[in-house]
Amino acid sequence: MGHIVNHEREYRLLQQRLDYNITGAPYAPAFIEILKILFTPEEAHIARQIPLRPTRLSAVADKLTMGTEELYDKVLLLAERGLVLDFEHNGQIYIVLAPVVIGFFEFIFMRTRDHLPIKELAELFEEYMSKTDGFARSVFEGSTQLGRTLVHEQALPTTNYSEVLDWEKASAIVASAKTIGLSLCTCRHKAHHLGKNCDAPLETCLTMGKSVDILIKKGMAVPITNNKALHIIEDCRNMGLVQIADNVQRDVGFICNCCSCCEFIQAIKRFDLRNAVISSNWLATVNTNKCRNCGACIRACPVGALHTQQNPPKKPECDETLCLGCGVCLTACKFNSLAMTPRQQRVLVPETTYDRIITMAIERGKLANLVFDDPSKLSHRALGRIIRVIEKSPPVQALMAVKPIKSAFLTTIVSRIKK
């Protein structure tokens, strides 16, 4: 590879490449500074040409006119920092460029680091994620999201508990997982380096599913037993933490035990992005006859969905559009004046990760980025432009707003992509 002269250009092109992801990476000076810390100019040049979907290492090496072993040595350095994921399948090594979230932001902070300026990175990520709403809106702009709320199971009425499906229960997800990894809470770890973290423990984030083996292999998670994971879930419930899981029904990939440090929660509170986390199928309801108006539930609610009027004083009310259906308020109430009641309309959760990714890509107008992922091919760029036009056309947007048609539409899109 020749000497890279224009370093700034490489980082700007890498930012644009990362912005192709369904969760995006909009430009900001702070984000460019993050990239400069994490990537050398040469690494930025390599990374921006790694596809967003798993691709054979040899194919990327050919595109870069580089030897496979030489490229793999460089990829391993990037993978150690959580910037690229590498894995073996059928004797072939595959690599994929990690998005910002869920991706290298989490991979950086989910373990302690000695060779990175973590405090400086924490400050830059805080500026990037919090100073304006650009990044948050890029991640959470659609109706389909990365995370969904798991209701605290002890908060559910016993008469309805049998109707709750296993993918809605943290205990069932953890109990059925083949392998579980434990990591530092990314958001609390970042807040710790800013001097803003709460009192909740750091080691609370659980990883399951297809990615856990990679995280354990890279030292980003430690393996734990199902029984220990169940104890962590129970302890976090008792501490009033919100349990947010991967927004899929099958092969759930993570459960986070979230506090006020959580970027999911902050997106709701700071920018009023009420759909940043999909709610559970439950809603907090106040029994005004039992309520003593002590305010414990209001203080406990992670997103401020419970509120009251002081003059004249009234009993708390729940904002249905804001309530996560987590059940944290019931844990705080000492007078049994709260109950979790089923929502009138059940929440739709994608069946698989593939379904979620496709749906998110369509909602965010990025299906072309996902399907035609090689920017070096003119034919891909041309076809990408066509799909972008289709995605943004009024008839398609109208169809996507109708749920029965939405499923058929997605099925057709997916089948054509596979062909």
Please indicate, yes or no, whether residues 70 and 28 belong to a single structural domain of this protein. Answer: yes
How would you list the strands of the sheet with 222-224, edge to edge? 147-150, 242-246, 254-258, 203-207, 180-184, 222-224
Q: How far apart are CA 168 and CA 2, in angstroms?
A: 53
How is residue 77 written in tokens? 């350095």
Please indicate, yes or no, whether residues 129 and 100 belong to a single structural domain of this protein. Answer: yes
Please indicate, yes or no, whether residues 263 and 283 belong to a single structural domain of this protein. Answer: yes
Q: How far apart are CA 336 and CA 286, in angstroms?
A: 9
Percentage of the chain surpassing pLDDT 90? 70
Please indicate, yes or no, whether residues 90 and 132 belong to a single structural domain of this protein. Answer: yes
Give the pLDDT confidence of 250-265 residue by residue, as tens digits. 999 999 999 999 999 9
Please indicate, yes or no, whether residues 135 and 219 belong to a single structural domain of this protein. Answer: no
Please indicate, yes or no, whether residues 152 and 256 belong to a single structural domain of this protein. Answer: yes
Using pLDDT thresholds of 50, 70 and 90, give the confidence band for residue 103: very high
Please indicate, yes or no, whether residues 309 and 275 belong to a single structural domain of this protein. Answer: yes
Please state, in angstroms and as integers, the Cα–Cα distance from residue 142 to each residue in 136, 137, 269, following that order: 11, 9, 17
Q: How far apart are CA 353 and CA 251, in angstroms?
A: 8
Angle at 351 between CA 347 and CA 354, to 5 degrees: 125
Q: How far apart are CA 128 and CA 327, in angstroms?
A: 31
Which residue range(s) make up the domain with 386?
353-418
Whether 348 is in a domain gets the answer no
Whether 188 is in a domain gets the answer yes
Query: Which of 291, 318, 342 delimits the end of a domain?
Result: 342
Whole-prediction pTM value? 0.89
Using pLDDT thresholds of 50, 70 and 90, give the confidence band for residue 384: low
Number of domains in the chain: 3
Whether 347 is in a domain gets the answer no
- pLDDT at residue number 176: 96
DSSP 162: T
Whether 284 is in a domain gets the answer yes
Please indicate, yes or no, whether residues 172 and 293 belong to a single structural domain of this protein. Answer: yes
Determine which of 53-62, 92-101, 297-306, 367-376 has the lowest per-residue pLDDT on average: 367-376
Please indicate, yes or no, whether residues 305 and 321 belong to a single structural domain of this protein. Answer: yes
Q: How far apart are CA 124 and CA 35, in angstroms?
A: 10
Please indicate, yes or no, whether residues 150 and 248 belong to a single structural domain of this protein. Answer: yes
Please indicate, yes or no, whether residues 291 and 149 belong to a single structural domain of this protein. Answer: yes
Give the pLDDT confidence of 166-225 residue by residue, as tens digits. 999 999 999 999 999 999 999 999 999 999 999 999 999 999 988 899 899 989 999 999
How is residue 33 written in tokens? 């500074």
